Structure 1
Amino acid sequence: MSICSSFLGLYIFIEIKTWSQYREYEKTPFPFPSTPYQPPSSYNSSDIIASALTSITNSPIITYYEYLSRKDNDKGIYEELKFQTFYKAYLSGGIISSHNKHHDDNKNVSPFNVYIESLTGTKLLIQNLNSDITVQELKERILENGIVNDTTSQRLVFNGQRLINSNELRNYNISHNNIIYLDIRSYYDDEGSNHNNIIKYLNSDFSNSDSILQFSKMKNHKNYKCDWMRILLSTTKEIKLIKSWPNSFHGTSTRNAKRIADDGFIHSKGYKFNFGHGIFTTPDINLAASYAHTFIFNGSKYLVLFQNRVNPKSLIKIPRGKGGKYWVSPSVDDVKPYALLIKKIGYCG
């Protein structure tokens, strides 16, 4: 009898602890600190998220536990990943059809300043620029400020578009006080030496009972295709603020060598917009899945998508009406991250 009572008490304790963690996850601002020195479970959501983001950025991203567990003689450079900045840097945007010609009226505009923001939160002001300056020249100005060792490792993004070295700033309608996002990436030279070995870490374990439960469910159903696992990224307060905004989905990879922004541009021909660049998302999760990034985790292949809330006041649907497959928003600030969606490819077993 005493053994049964002890077992029952332990079971109730585990259930209460799991539920408490879930409630805490809902109420705690994102990102929240991990519990120090607590080893993750074999299916902890932080592990799979780190793997997904590593694949998207092509740079190492580790969990908070891995960061705390590094060796004393480890000489690597570790910086905390700011997820909101990462999200804005990897949204897919592009030129809008009716504004596909570059404007020459910016040619003689007075000098302007821009802000550079890295994925780890470093902010930098670059002054006295003009629209004739190339992206390569901008990278050299960033180099002068000492936050990066060269121009090769710099990936610059403005309003969902990756900046090409040979292009001028006018090509992207960059103007005064705009924010340009910087991802400093590791690369290998011709001699095999690794440059800018910066390792980003998540200061959140993203663990909650929902994600662990769904992993368990996937393992127990051998004859069913896996479903999407959703990990909330917004706080309860943020969700209330954007609750009335419609849901959309976004994939960061390509379909037939085209991004969602490239295909959205093709479908936007014939439409008129009052902005030159836009962020493309879709309300169709199956369409978004065709642009989903794939990655390997524990020997299995997965897809990763972002679920967003988009500002309805600035949203344009293509084609018009309820059947619009491609949604266009004028700015990264009109698209808010809501959840990360991860799905195992094939059957779960």
Structure 2
Amino acid sequence: MDNYELVAAALSKITNTQVITYNEYLTQKDRNPDQTFQYFDSNLLHDIYLVKGVVSSDVIDVEEEVENSTRNLENVFISFSGETLEIKNLNANTTISQLKNKIFETKGIVPNDQWLTIQNVLIKNLSGKTLTVKNLNSKTSINQLKNKIYETEGIPPDEQYLNYGLKSLQDHQTLSYYEITNDTTINLSTRLRGGSNTIQVLDRDFLDPRYDYDFTNIKPSGTYTRGNYKYVRPYGWNRMAMRVLNKYSDNSWLGVNNRTNISESVEGEWIVSFHGTGKNNVNSIAKDGYLLSKGLRFKYGRGVYSTPDIDWAARYADIFVYKGENYQVVFQNRVKPDTFDVVSFDSGLKFFISPNDKEIRPYGLCFRKI
């Protein structure tokens, strides 16, 4: 079995576009000189297809977060009734509440009666094209912004990935929550979409076969920990390693240094988790996680769902066909300790909910025949 061909077949299913191996590209490029090829963006894949959802938000006051968080402002122009008021000498510690107080001091409009408008937001896509979205306000949600982009560009909201200031913009939050002010530029990426004439080429360095491990025929035995947390190895699955060594500032998160016992953790190591890749199943895992977390107190309103149980993650995984046989694929991740919430079933099954998608990193793809 060619691992790259299997991975390409899986990614074709996950992204709903054609993904081929580099060797296939070498064969096709001369036969099809008019065909467009581009390298597969593995970073974008992880960012877009992480299984995200809402945590029970009945204990979260979003408006309070908006009013009391800091904004990066200098001078702001306030327009009302045909008049423009300039508020000067603001700084990085100025809050929206303080800005409203300055308006009150100048114009006598009480803060609770003020509705601050963000007139224009600039949307820049990967090709460098910039779109101006007008007539927004500070309470415009990211989902509403996506709908405006859809009206102009025809990109469905669930295929848009918005990023600003190294943050992924979540649908339920507002522009002011992310410190987005007038003429702010937001970066737009899109899901890899079916129907495109572009063929995605899987880089030869996407995988790292040195760290592959086939658990298909291995029976469960012993107790293992990773990041000082119980690690249930993916028995019954074939784990193919992604090339992530030296991708980040250090490799301690992988636990590759100073391991003297294969079953024990090492210092600085992150915890192992799994998540399914089926984008059509995102609503299911989000709903399951929401119902499970309802009534519990969480300091985050949205997060990336994963689980230490690969068989549970498989419930949300894609099924694809490779050489006439059906397979499933699940991401294997490392999650930074002490950065996620845990919700549990009575059976002991757990969800991890990571509020920051930079603190969950994929490092393997697990496959099994079904």
1:329, distance to aligned residue in structure 2 (A): 0.6
- What is the count of residue pairs matched by the alignment? 272
- Structure 2: unaligned runs, 5 residues or longer: 67-114, 218-234, 256-268
Q: Secondary structure at the match of 1:69?
A: helix
Q: Is the 8 Å Cα contact of residues 77 and 199 (structure 1) preserved in structure 2?
A: yes
Q: Is the 8 Å Cα contact of residues 231 and 341 (structure 1) preserved in structure 2?
A: yes
1:170, distance to aligned residue in structure 2 (A): 3.7
- Structure 1: unaligned runs, 5 residues or longer: 1-42, 144-149, 188-195, 219-225
Indicate yes or no: 2:17 matched with 1:59.
yes
Of 42, 56, 62, the match for 1:97: 56
Larger radius of gyration: 2
Amino acid aligned to 2:303: G
Q: Is the 8 Å Cα contact of residues 116 and 182 (structure 1) preserved in structure 2?
A: no
Indicate yes or no: 2:244 matched with 1:240.
no
Q: Specify the alignment match of 2:155 in structure 1.
A: 151
Of 315, 336, 339, the match for 1:311: 336
Amino acid aligned to 1:156: Q
In the alignment, the residues of structure 2 paired with residue 140 and residue 56 of structure 1 have an alpha-carbon distance, to the nearest angstrom, of 26
Amino acid aligned to 1:235: V
TM-score by length of 1: 0.64
In the alignment, the residues of structure 2 paired with residue 45 and residue 91 of structure 1 have an alpha-carbon distance, to the nearest angstrom, of 23
Q: Specify the alignment match of 1:276 in structure 2.
A: 301
Deviates more, 1:296-305 or 1:284-293: 284-293
Amino acid aligned to 1:151: I
In the alignment, the residues of structure 1 paired with residue 317 and residue 362 of structure 2 have an alpha-carbon distance, to the nearest angstrom, of 16
In the alignment, the residues of structure 1 paired with residue 37 and residue 243 of structure 2 have an alpha-carbon distance, to the nearest angstrom, of 25
In the alignment, the residues of structure 1 paired with residue 48 and residue 59 of structure 2 have an alpha-carbon distance, to the nearest angstrom, of 22
Of 306, 322, 327, the match for 2:352: 327
Q: Is the 8 Å Cα contact of residues 154 and 185 (structure 1) preserved in structure 2?
A: no
In the alignment, the residues of structure 2 paired with residue 154 and residue 78 of structure 1 have an alpha-carbon distance, to the nearest angstrom, of 25
Q: Is the 8 Å Cα contact of residues 52 and 282 (structure 2) preserved in structure 1?
A: no
Q: Secondary structure at the match of 2:147?
A: helix
State the identity %.
Answer: 28
Q: Is the 8 Å Cα contact of residues 16 and 192 (structure 2) preserved in structure 1?
A: no
1:162, distance to aligned residue in structure 2 (A): 9.1
Q: Specify the alignment match of 2:291 in structure 1.
A: 266
Q: Secondary structure at the match of 2:251?
A: helix
Q: Specify the alignment match of 2:69 in structure 1.
A: none
1:240, distance to aligned residue in structure 2 (A): 2.3
Q: Secondary structure at the match of 1:305?
A: strand
Q: Is the 8 Å Cα contact of residues 135 and 169 (structure 1) preserved in structure 2?
A: no
Q: Specify the alignment match of 1:108 in structure 2.
A: 116
In the alignment, the residues of structure 2 paired with residue 93 and residue 172 of structure 1 have an alpha-carbon distance, to the nearest angstrom, of 22
Of 128, 145, 148, the match for 1:137: 148
1:254, distance to aligned residue in structure 2 (A): 7.6
State the Cα deviation string for residues 113-171 of structure 1 (Å, max 9, x = none).
577666xxx57766666553442322456x4xxxxxx53698114688996xxxx8749
Distance 1:64 1:99, change over 3 A: farther
In the alignment, the residues of structure 2 paired with residue 98 and residue 287 of structure 1 have an alpha-carbon distance, to the nearest angstrom, of 24
State the Cα deviation string for residues 244-264 of structure 1 (Å, max 9, x = none).
211100002289895322211
Distance 1:310 1:209, change over 3 A: closer
- Coordinate RMSD, CA, aligned: 4.0
Amino acid aligned to 2:209: N
Q: Secondary structure at the match of 1:303?
A: strand
Q: Secondary structure at the match of 1:87?
A: helix
